Chain A
């Protein structure tokens, strides 16, 4: 009975979405105040129904209701309760329901916090989001119903959640990622509302900035979590593969980064207006394209959800309508009048423009590489080609280095222009210091030079150096006076530099050894002594395992690592759980291969210096995005908007 209630709830939410779309868009167009006033309750009602459906599905998992097909395919009575809860989004239907829930949540948030926006404008924003909700709910209800029943052929037990997903990573990665994907629908809606109302001044940018920053922060976090999860889960020490599904999340991030910077310029300077509109549309379009890539089976990936061409067609059609429609709207309504504000090359505007260009070029590059095999196969009538890591790194690395150099110059640049003499004076010592540190440190510490690492170090020190210097100069006038928005920028750019360090250093300095070890054997890896102490069986909740023991001695410090080889009972899958000693400066990574007889095992030992810096950098960026939004400026705006209303009422 409960799953049917869930279906009903989704249907009701669908109807409410239709009302939101109609009342919002038609209401704003026709000036119907009462329609627009009803929006808040409609949006709340829709959220409640979707949340209700989600709770019902979760309940079905927790109570082992295997009459529901989705539960039977993704759960098992032996599964621990926390994995049952996260199994709700472990496969296509449930994860899409999560997406819909998050969508409803963001719509509600916008409705609740749009007090200072003009009524017609916020109505349009909600109307556009309502349209998106319609599409998402229609997709869910008609092609991917999570509440489909198997009854009367209810199985005795479920097929179990894929063991690779029985992990903390599943609990956090998809929700954060979806928060980001869907969060950009808010900027998208703002952009469309601006186009629809022909209100193309910079006010829409100011209003949508906090939303975009938060969405970006979540997307950054989602990607970081995904990379980290893959690293420790998959057993090989890899953290990024340029797989189509990974690219599907990275492209919106690249466009989104360009967007948040562009919004800043549009708000403060009134330029880049059309650029910013296009970016807002593009970022969310890439989220939708990402959904298409992941769920249609059109591109080959291990991460892709179950392949179903009908679903793929639906998403493609939805994509055509939403993105095609918005780009057509943009093409017909965006202003062709160029902004009259001029700026020189050595100005913030120009460098932010450079930033935008680099990110958009990077995004186009990743898009090209991801879709190329598909296009190639279509055009040649069947020949297959692969585009992988070597290609993506070849293009991406130089772009990021260019960006990093530009980023380092940024703190010293002023709006409209900076006298070149002054620029040189401010930057030359920093440039010298970066080169010295970047080349000197590795020489000092390791006695050798890997030029790739040096370039990254120089550039990373360059960014940190100029930013720290700028902070110090501001701080001299009182640290308390430094606005939160500045701290946000500082954290985000610093995070970028930290991640850069991590990526470069771990790529160059990582060491890996595959060897045969017998109990009692000690192996030296980069000065760390690793002793194999045999393997013992262990019984887990829903698996049986061989548990290895490795005793490590490093710089006088001793500890043990226990990698496992697990066999999951329900799916008969064998999985390797690597053992990692995570450290700020390095990870020690041990995994078991196959038993070789007589107690000997094939073993993989890895030492990966600075690998954590990659994710720490990402976390700093996330933090930066959130801090920037907490800035008092946004709160001040609301108080200022409230005051005239109060004054008006009193009059």
Chain B
């Protein structure tokens, strides 16, 4: 047994401390990175919120960059980000599509009338099955898609001015350059 080998435990320990230190800089334990990043938005077939007889599918999301926003009336944070969505829609003209997640249709429609409707159209996902396809586990969550329907970014939580400026705007600028 050499003197050098006695230093091994110390070395291992310091490695653990470094790992522990990095633990503090890590993201929120609640937010999961999306498994869909870089992949095409999954295909689906779901009714529109205001016209359940009509079904939409993935093709409705193609053609231009679009925000897909998962929301519900039972979610207070969605209410908080709603004004921001209205502002974004008005100022940037970007397409915003809503997914009404595990909600009551009448309440949702009423909510949009009362608080404003930033959405080009709203997809109804009553039982959450579309959410499972998207890897959604709560609301609000927002996806940014490019013109070909590829998922560029996913944000968990509400969109506020800082998030929009720091996370979304740079990506949008890149998309618009293409």
Q: Which residues of A contact B (CB under 8 A)?
A: 274, 278, 281-282, 285, 289, 292, 296-300, 309, 312-313, 316, 319-320, 323-324, 327-328, 330-332, 334, 336, 338, 367, 371, 374-375, 377-378, 382-384
Contact = CB atoms under 8 A, between A and B. Distances in A.
Given A336-B1, A338-B1, A298 B23 contact: yes
Contact of B20 (A274, A292, A300): A292
Contacts of B113: none
29 contacts: A274-B1, A282-B9, A285-B13, A292-B20, A309-B24, A320-B17, A323-B13, A324-B13, A324-B17, A327-B10, A327-B13, A330-B6, A330-B9, A331-B9, A332-B6, A336-B1, A336-B2, A336-B3, A367-B16, A371-B20, A374-B19, A374-B20, A374-B23, A375-B22, A377-B27, A378-B25, A378-B26, A383-B33, A384-B32
Nearest to A300: B29
Contacts, number: 75
Contacts of A384: 32-33
Nearest to B20: A316
Nearest to A299: B23
A284 to B, nearest CB: 13
Of B10, B16, B20, most A-chain CB atoms within 10 Å = B20
A277 to B, nearest CB: 10
Contact of B23 (A324, A330, A378): A378
Given A327-B10, A327-B13, A330-B6, A298 B20 contact: yes
Interface of A is mostly: helix
Contacts of B23: 296, 298-299, 312, 374, 378
Contacts of B1: 274, 336, 338
B24 A313 contact: yes
A479 B13 CA distance: 47
Interface of B: 1-3, 6-7, 9-10, 13-14, 16-17, 19-27, 29, 32-33
B19 A371 contact: yes
Contacts of B3: 331, 336
Contacts of B9: 278, 281-282, 327, 330-331
B16 to A, nearest CB: 7
Nearest to B26: A377
A336 B3 CA distance: 6
Contacts of B6: 274, 330-332, 334, 336
B13 A375 contact: no
Contact of B21 (A316, A327, A334): A316
Nearest to A379: B22
B14 A382 contact: no
Given A327-B9, A382-B33, A316 B17 contact: yes
B24 A298 contact: yes
Nearest to B15: A375
A382 B27 contact: yes
Contacts of B17: 316, 319-320, 324
Nearest to A323: B13
Nearest to A374: B23
Contacts of B2: 336
Given A298-B24, A336-B1, A377-B26, 9 more contacts: A296-B23, A316-B17, A319-B20, A328-B10, A330-B9, A332-B6, A371-B20, A378-B22, A378-B23
A404 B86 CA distance: 66
A312 B10 contact: no
B21 A374 contact: no
B33 A374 contact: no
A371 B16 contact: yes
B157 to A, nearest CB: 15
Nearest to A334: B6
A371 B9 CA distance: 17
Nearest to A383: B33
Q: Which 4 A-B pairs have the closest CB atoms?
A: A298-B23, A378-B22, A327-B10, A331-B6
